[in-house]
């Protein structure tokens, strides 16, 4: 009984520490949950999709130079989607949903587009705000961000 009690206390202490570390990480720039600098805009070729695995997003640059940050989690049950360059699509490995380069869904079982994050510009730098996941039903062109 005493042993179990002690184990529980350790478990609670670890949970508490984990919570503190989690909160600290969320407040840091440059990590998932904060503002992530992707790089200089010119580094991203128009018509390209670049993976930022630790940021949990793909940075899409469309043919006319606009940017979109697409969340890498499938809206169906949360599996991590993969970008397949040869097909020009995102694929979910769990139940075979696919999405075009803008994250628009193309088949069931998923029923909405991939989530996005805000893209911001700081001079030539492209930054992605991963503190807030933006849900959407479908892709629309006004979701593309352009440097002014
Ligand atoms: Fe992606 Fe089910 S989790 S299709």
∠96-107-62 over CA atoms, to 5°? 95
pLDDT digit string, tens, across residues 42-87:
999 999 999 999 999 999 999 999 999 999 999 999 999 999 999 9
pLDDT digit string, tens, across residues 89-141:
999 999 999 999 999 999 989 999 999 999 999 999 999 999 999 999 999 99
Best residue among 73, 95, 98, 103 to mutate for probing ligand 1's pocket (most ligand atoms within 8 Å of CB) is 95
Global pTM reads 0.81
pLDDT tier at 27, thresholds 50, 70, 90: low
What is the token pair recorded at 147? 């440097």
The per-residue b/e assignment along 17-32, b for 16 or more CB within 10 angstroms, e otherwise, is: eeeeeeeeeeeeeeeb
């Amino acid at each position: 009984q005493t042993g179990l009690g002690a184990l529980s206390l350790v478990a609670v202490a670890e949970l508490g520490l984990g919570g503190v570390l989690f909160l600290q990480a969320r407040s840091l720039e440059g990590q998932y949950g904060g503002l992530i600098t992707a790089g200089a805009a010119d580094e991203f070729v128009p018509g390209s999709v670049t993976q930022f695995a630790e940021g949990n997003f793909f940075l899409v640059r469309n043919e006319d130079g606009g940017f979109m940050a697409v969340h890498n989690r499938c809206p169906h049950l949360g599996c991590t989607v993969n970008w397949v360059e040869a097909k020009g699509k995102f694929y979910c490995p769990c139940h075979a949903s696919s999405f075009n380069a803008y994250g628009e869904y193309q088949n069931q079982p998923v029923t909405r587009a991939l989530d996005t994050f805000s893209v911001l510009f700081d001079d030539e730098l492209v930054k992605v705000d991963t503190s807030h996941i933006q849900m959407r039903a479908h892709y629309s062109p006004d979701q593309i961000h352009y440097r002014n």
